[in-house]
């Protein structure tokens, strides 16, 4: 049995806040939660109301699908960083300190080849893309990346606030 679609104002009143809270409770950023709640209502209104048996279940089904899409879509570094909140942002002096330490650490890597492969990976290239650029086999690239991560770990072991491979990748995303 189909029921009539509620009018626009009633729908917004009934679902906007619950949908927003639903997305926020699942770790979605404030702005993206607002966008997703809006998208759910748009999808709902694009559907023919005679094909919907249970309007409430249909709306929440759309919301679950939107949540799955939001969790699985690739994010840019800026989107990820903004979703962390202001407490996760580091101070300017910490960023400068890390930048200098990353540059010094990369200079300590002995082979130009391993430095290049690591930097390409930090810039977000896949193993296959690095293979096409450098001409090295995929197994060589994987071995070089593992060796480089091990060297970074050894070089940073004695430093009071050590860097790791993720810090270096983070450094390259900001350049």
Distance (Å, whole) CA 119 – CA 106 = 9
Establish if 66 belongs to a structural domain: yes
Structural domain harbouring 73: 8-84
Tens digits of per-residue pLDDT, 131-143? 888 888 999 989 8
Same domain, 67 and 102: no
The 10s digit of each residue's pLDDT in 98-145 is 667 777 777 777 677 777 788 777 777 788 888 888 888 999 989 888
Which two structure tokens, joined as six digits, stand for 6?
A: 């509620």
Using CA atoms, how far apart are residues 31 and 39, in angstroms rounded to an integer? Answer: 12
Q: Is residue 2 part of a domain?
A: no
Lowest mean pLDDT among 31-35, 38-42, 43-47, 73-77: 73-77
Under 8 Å between Cβ of 42 and 8: no
Domain count of the chain?
Answer: 2
Evaluated on CA atoms 141, 76, 42, 59, the torsion sign reads: positive
**Containing H/E element for 1?**
none
pLDDT higher than 80, residue 74: no
Same domain, 124 and 80: no
pTM score over 0.75: no
């Amino acid at each position: 049995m189909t029921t009539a679609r509620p009018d626009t104002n009633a729908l917004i009143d009934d679902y906007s806040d619950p949908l927003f809270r639903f997305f926020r409770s699942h770790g979605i950023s404030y702005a993206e939660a607002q966008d997703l709640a809006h998208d759910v209502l748009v999808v709902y209104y694009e559907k023919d109301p005679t094909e919907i048996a249970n309007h409430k279940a249909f709306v929440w089904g759309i919301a679950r699908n939107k949540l799955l899409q939001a969790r699985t879509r690739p994010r840019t570094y800026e989107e990820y960083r903004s979703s962390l909140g202001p407490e996760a942002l580091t101070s300017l002096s910490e960023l400068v300190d890390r930048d200098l330490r990353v540059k010094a650490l990369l200079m300590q890597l002995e082979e130009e080849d391993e430095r290049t492969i690591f930097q390409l990976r930090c810039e977000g290239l896949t193993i296959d893309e690095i293979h096409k650029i450098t001409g090295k086999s995929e197994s060589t690239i994987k071995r070089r990346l593992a060796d480089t991560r091990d060297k970074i770990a050894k070089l940073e072991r004695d430093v009071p606030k050590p860097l790791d491979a993720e810090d270096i990748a983070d450094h390259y995303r900001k350049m």
